[in-house]
Structures are given as structure tokens and as C-alpha cells.
């Protein structure tokens, strides 16, 4: 297969996708910003910091020069933190081909602009060929070829189908979805609820509390999604409740682990530092809180987590606040 695919971001998920695509026989380059990390990957044949024990295919090219990595790529997969997406795309623009397909796998909302990542891409490259790949897909399992199912969304259905075929394997099943707004929001907002689920676990609560957090969390996701023009049914699918389940229940989830530390009494900064990697839900919670106000949408879990992150309240007071809200009909979304 001659088409060149470049993965921008040598973290856990970027590496996992690079492994998956290289194993399919594509010409794959993997770029990362830390030259020392890339050198270690070349020397050891694995990514010991992010995916220890996962062997890299011999023909996977590890590249530290952005021009070399991006030039001639038919598909550029962006696996960088959501808050870095704009700047990373700008760096790549001079070397992208006219018809390069941008496939984004980051899950977040830009804090300052409150834009989804597809909107940022369109702003930087008008008419961009863009798709988002999202769903319940921990890198640790994808890289080990454990069964995983995700969805790809684009405004261009033909492009979504093409990306589907490129990524689909007998262990990585890809569906298409034409609701790019819902897919992007689902992937971003579920991280906030995973923080909440982690806080619940950190405080020593049980399955009942976590189930309530997840169920009322999906309601908040639907509220904001509907206000922003998403198809509410998307939140019942892989990129909504599917991703929510895996992120709220797995110890692979940075957001859940961060929440556990916060529930145990650590500050947001202390928890993030201990995780040692980007926790997307922290930035997304701030952006979602601002969007809730902009669209006049009630999101009590998101609001409470934002207050806790900012030190305006503690975990115990947050629980009392959520449990003590005025009673209502469950179906009144």
C-alpha cells in the first residue's frame, strides 16, 4: 500500500494507531515532539513511557522532523492534546498536500474559543478534508489488538467511508456516523463525567453512585449536544454512552484516575501532576461550563466539578450539593 500515513503525536493512542496501520501494510511515519523519546523508541523497538511491552513494527518509521513526517502524506492523523491541536495543525500546514486528509483523534473543546476541533481545522484550512475518529478505545488495548469498536464522522460521507476502510481491521471495527458535532461533543464531554466517577470512587462510594453519575452525565451531554445542533441519538452510541462507560470504569482512563486522586483530597494540580500525562477533562470542564452558560443549558455535574477544580468547594460539599438539588421528573431533560 503506497499511500503515506503520518501520525502526529507519539503518545499512547498515536503510537497504538501507528502500530495498527503499519500492521495493515501502510507506509506509516510517527512523529513526536520529544527527540529523546523518539530515539529511545528506535533503540528499544517500543514506546516504554506510554506503551511498555508493545513491540513496534520494524517498518514503522519514527521521525523527529515535522517536514519530513508530513510531506507527501495522504492522511495526517492528529493524536495531540486538544488544547495543542490548533498550534500543531498550523505547524503542519506548510507541508501538507492540497488534498491531505486530517483525521483527528483528540477529544476536547478549545478553552479560549470554545470551538470543537473540526471548527478549528476549518478555520485554519478552509475546505479541509476532515474526519474525527472516536469511541471506547483505550490505547493499551488497541495496541495489543484486543477487540475495539469506534466510529468515524465527517461532513463528507464518502470521506468517512474511506477512512473507515483504512482503519478497519478484524480487531478494530469502525462504523461511520454523519453527526460530526455529536461525535466530537460526546468524546469531549464524557471526560468530565469520568472525572466525577473517579471522584466518587476516590471518596469510597459504591456502584450505585457511579451508575447515577454516568446516567445523569449522559443527560447533560444530551442537553448541550441538542442545544449545539447534534443528533441526540449519537449520544446513545459508541462515541457517547460507549465511550462514557469505558472512561468511567477503567483504570486505563487518566480522567477517572485523576478524579480518584481529587476524591481522596488532592488538589487538581496535584492530581494532574501525579497522573503525569494530559488529563483532557480538566480543560474540557472549563469549556463546557462556558458553553452551558452560552446556550443556557443546565449542567449541574459539570458546574460542580468546575467549582471543585477551582477550589471553590470540596468533594463532600459537592456531593451534598448534587444530592440535595430540588427533586424533579427524570424524563425532563
Q: Are the beta carbons of 47 and 56 closer than 8 angstroms?
A: yes
Which is the catalytic residue, given 111, 190, 210, 326?
Answer: 190
Report the DSSP beta bridge partners of residue 102.
Answer: 76, 130
Beta-strand (E) ranges in the chain?
4-8, 27-31, 46-47, 51-55, 61-63, 75-78, 101-104, 129-134, 148-153, 172-177
Listed in sequence order, the residues at least 6 apart from 321 whose beta carbon sits closer than 8 Å to its beta carbon are 304, 313
**CA-to-CA distance for 270 and 262, rounded, in angstroms?**
8
Whether 24 sits among the annotated catalytic residues: the reply is no
**CA-to-CA distance for 149 and 118, rounded, in angstroms?**
22
Q: What is the DSSP letter of 327?
A: P
**CA-to-CA distance for 6 and 22, rounded, in angstroms?**
11
Q: Are the beta carbons of 167 and 28 closer than 8 angstroms?
A: no
Report the DSSP beta bridge partners of residue 6.
Answer: 29, 76
**CA-to-CA distance for 175 and 133, rounded, in angstroms?**
10
Grid coordinates in use for 264? 481522596
Instruction: Give the DSSP letter string of 77-139.
Output: EE-S-GGGHHHHHHHHGGG--TTPEEEE----B-TTT--BHHHHHHHHSTT-EEEEEESS--H
Active site residues: 190
Amino acid at each position: 500500500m503506497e499511500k503515506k500515513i503520518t501520525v502526529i503525536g507519539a503518545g499512547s493512542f498515536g503510537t497504538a494507531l501507528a502500530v495498527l496501520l503499519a500492521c495493515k501494510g501502510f507506509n506509516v511515519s510517527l512523529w513526536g515532539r520529544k527527540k529523546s523519546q523518539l530515539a529511545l523508541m528506535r533503540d528499544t523497538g517500543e514506546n516504554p513511557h506510554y506503551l511498555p511491552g508493545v513491540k513496534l513494527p520494524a517498518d514503522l518509521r519514527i521521525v523527529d522532523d515535522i517536514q519530513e513526517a508530513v510531506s507527501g502524506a495522504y492522511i495526517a492523523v492528529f493524536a495531540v492534546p486538544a488544547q495543542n491541536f490548533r498550534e500543531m495543525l498550523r505547524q503542519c500546514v506548510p507541508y501538507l498536500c492540497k488534498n491531505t486528509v486530517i483525521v483527528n483523534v483528540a477529544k476536547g473543546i478549545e478553552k479560549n474559543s470554545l470551538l470543537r476541533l473540526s471548527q478549528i481545522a476549518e478555520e485554519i484550512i478552509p475546505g479541509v478534508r476532515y474526519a474525527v475518529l472516536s469511541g471506547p478505545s483505550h490505547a493499551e488495548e488497541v495496541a495489543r489488538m484486543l477487540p475495539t469498536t469506534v466510529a468515524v464522522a465527517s461532513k463528507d460521507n464518502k470521506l468517512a467511508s474511506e477512512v473507515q476502510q483504512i482503519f478497519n481491521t478484524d480487531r478494530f471495527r469502525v462504523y461511520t456516523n454523519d453527526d460530526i458535532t455529536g461525535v466530537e461533543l460526546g468524546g469531549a464531554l464524557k471526560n468530565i463525567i469520568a472525572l466525577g466517577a473517579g471522584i466518587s470512587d476516590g471518596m469510597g462510594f459504591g456502584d450505585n453512585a457511579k451508575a447515577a453519575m454516568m446516567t445523569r452525565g449522559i443527560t447533560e451531554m444530551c442537553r448541550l449536544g441538542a442545544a449545539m445542533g447534534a443528533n441526540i441519538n449519537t449520544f446513545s452510541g459508541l462515541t457517547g454512552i460507549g465511550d462514557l462507560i469505558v472512561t468511567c470504569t477503567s483504570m486505563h482512563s487518566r480522567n477517572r484516575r485523576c478524579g480518584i486522586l481529587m476524591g481522596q483530597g488532592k488538589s487538581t494540580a496535584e492530581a494532574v501532576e501525579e497522573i503525569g500525562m494530559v488529563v483532557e477533562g480538566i480543560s474540557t470542564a472549563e469549556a463546557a461550563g462556558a458553553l452551558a452558560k452560552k446556550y443556557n443549558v443546565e449542567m449541574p455535574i459539570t458546574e460542580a466539578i468546575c467549582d471543585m477544580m477551582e477550589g471553590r468547594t470540596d468533594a463532600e460539599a459537592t456531593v451534598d450539593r448534587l444530592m440535595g438539588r430540588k427533586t424533579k421528573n427524570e424524563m425532563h431533560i
